Structure 1
Amino acid sequence: MLVTIVTPSFNQARFLEATMRSVLEQDYPQIEYMVVDGGSTDGSVEVIQKYAHRLAWWVSEPDRGQTDAINKGFARARGEVLAWLNSDDTYEPGAVRRAVEALQAHPQAVMVYGEANYIDEAGRVIGRFPAAQTDYRRLRRGYVHIPQQAAFWRAEAWRAVGPLDPTFYFAMDYDLWVRLSMLGALVFVPGQVWANFRLHRDAKTIAADDRCWPEMLRVHRRLGGGGLAPIVLKYYLRRLVAPYIRWKRSRLFER
């Protein structure tokens, strides 16, 4: 099975090489790798050019942001399996092979996902993403628990529900998971760490987390969800505890 992986990037030169090497050094031979850069000016292009001979395609030009870059890459994809890896995250060795094995073991699954570590700017493990099994019903309730970095899905499912909604800045992955879960099972593979989710001061998860839940509510309302649904109540609870969450995350950078 050919696996297409797309890395969207913009001014992430300090992390980009680690990201690219984590893909290019996988032990699975059938990988089509693309890097879609938004016109970086920080040396990212030089990093990409260093590995250009091992890429299926790359470009560096202004775009409309991360979602647009991902869609641009997948529009060229030839793989039977798709994934994207942001330019500050990394795969663990063997991740792609294990994902393909999981899809082969679960022919009913439209997507599989494994565990993911939280890592800091230096690549040190500082925690574990709370990954867990979910499905359409639980996703609609706000029970997501899918580390995007460790998710791989079938291209035929993408063609049925894609591309990503370009109006989303943060929750385009949640929107995709909901749409994929309408087609079939999302299968979690516990005990296998497939990826590393980098937390740093400039990361969207840190800098713009307050935009995530309102976008998730847009998905909820688009599907006819009401105002008293669990996901709405979770949104208001999240707003209440947001100062504590920001404080807790800030302590990660004091280590």
Structure 2
Amino acid sequence: MTNQEVRIMRVGMVVPTLGERPELLKECLNSLTGQAYSGLRLVVVSPPGALTAGEQAMSPRITVLPQSGSGIVDAVMTGWRYFGDRVDVMGWLGDDDRLPPGSITQALHALERQTGAAMAYGQVRYIDGAGRPFKTMRPGRVGSLLLRLGYNMVYQPGCLYRRTAVEAIGGLDDSFRLAFDVDFHRRLAAYGGLRYVASVLGEIRDHPDSLTVRRLSESQREAELALSRQMPDWLRRTRPVWRPATDVLHRAVAKAAGR
């Protein structure tokens, strides 16, 4: 498959932000505009007045939309609704995260190879507040299987989603405040399956101001709910029987993935 064939796919990326971390937002957007992918459309969604005039004029390639609601889910859905059917594939990136060069092209290649897949996910690199890498997670194809069994190893930064699949499952669920990505991925896995990319597609910034870090226990409770409620009744009822064995499998895979 040639790069020209991949470029036929139109990609819409949303960056939700409150405008409170301008330097990190700049890094995030630079990582997107530096993808060298001509089919990419970028939207920043923020509350009215959150960005300065200079920040709103960061690049002619970036559209800034005001957010009428609140929360990350509302911001992402605002951007996706703006794109509508003008894109084939969609995604979002937190304003403190980054995409490495070539991330979007690699994810699109994966979706082209498996036309029925609802989304592509890959490896992620953890970076500190200064942007220095300190750990890479490589979930492998088993990450998709573990997701179906109630364990989350499908990391959101770098993921791309087919628009038709997103529309079919109703998009993000705003009843979740933190684990909406876990719920979303679980529903996409049930709808059309996931395609794994064996390279780093996203960089997650691990710092004290991160929502997930500050509200870790709430995030974990929501993730457990999101993962368990999508299971078939028979699988949920028998979970106490097989859960100990899959806990061992999950720990082993997580340990191997982080080496």
Q: Given residue 148 of structure 1, which amino acid in structure 2 is its aligned partner?
A: Q
Please state how far the C-alpha of 1:233 moved relative to its aligned partner. Answer: 6.3
Return the alpha-carbon distance in structure 2 between the equivalents of residues 228 and 211 of structure 1.
Answer: 26
**TM-score (normalizing by structure 1):** 0.81
Is the Cα–Cα contact under 8 Å of residues 121 and 198 in structure 1 kept in the other structure?
A: yes
Partner of 1:103: 111
Q: In structure 2, do the counterparts of structure 1 residues 147 and 221 end up closer, same or farther at CA, with 3 Å as the change threshold?
A: closer
CA offset digits 1:150-199 (Å, max 9, x no partner): 21111110010122111111110111111111122201111x11211001
Q: In structure 2, do the counterparts of structure 1 residues 136 and 24 end up closer, same or farther at CA, with 3 Å as the change threshold?
A: closer
Is the Cα–Cα contact under 8 Å of residues 56 and 64 in structure 2 kept in the other structure?
A: no
Equivalent pairs counted in the alignment come to: 231
Q: In structure 2, do the counterparts of structure 1 residues 97 and 137 end up closer, same or farther at CA, with 3 Å as the change threshold?
A: closer
Of residues 168, 171, 174 in structure 2, which corresponds to 1:166? 174
Q: Given residue 239 of structure 2, which amino acid in structure 1 is its aligned partner?
A: A
**TM-score (normalizing by structure 2):** 0.80
Partner of 1:243: none
Structure 2: segments with no counterpart, 5+ residues: 1-8, 248-259
CA offset digits 1:50-81 (Å, max 9, x no partner): 324212x3124463211111111111122101
Of residues 116, 123, 130 in structure 2, which corresponds to 1:115? 123
Partner of 2:239: 229
Deviates more, 1:207-216 or 1:59-68: 59-68
Partner of 1:50: 57
Q: In structure 2, do the counterparts of structure 1 residues 222 and 114 end up closer, same or farther at CA, with 3 Å as the change threshold?
A: closer
CA offset digits 1:83-139 (Å, max 9, x no partner): 101100011011111111111122121111121100011111011134332476532
Partner of 1:218: 225
Task: Note the aligned Cα RMSD (angstroms).
Answer: 2.5
After the TM superposition, which residues 116-135 of structure 1 pair with which residues of structure 2 at under 5 Å, given as runs?
A: 116-134=124-142
Q: Given residue 4 of structure 1, which amino acid in structure 2 is its aligned partner?
A: G
Q: Given residue 170 of structure 2, which amino acid in structure 1 is its aligned partner?
A: G
Please state how far the C-alpha of 1:39 moved relative to its aligned partner. Answer: 4.3
Please state how far the C-alpha of 1:229 moved relative to its aligned partner. Answer: 2.6
Return the alpha-carbon distance in structure 2 between the equivalents of residues 155 and 178 of structure 1.
Answer: 16
Return the alpha-carbon distance in structure 2 between the equivalents of residues 38 and 46 of structure 1.
Answer: 14
Structure 1: segments with no counterpart, 5+ residues: 238-255
Partner of 2:100: 92
Q: Partner of 2:225: helix, strand, or coil?
A: helix
Report the identity percentage.
Answer: 28
**2:10 is the counterpart of 1:16:** no
Deviates more, 1:207-216 or 1:79-88: 207-216
Return the alpha-carbon distance in structure 2 between the equivalents of residues 132 and 205 of structure 1.
Answer: 23
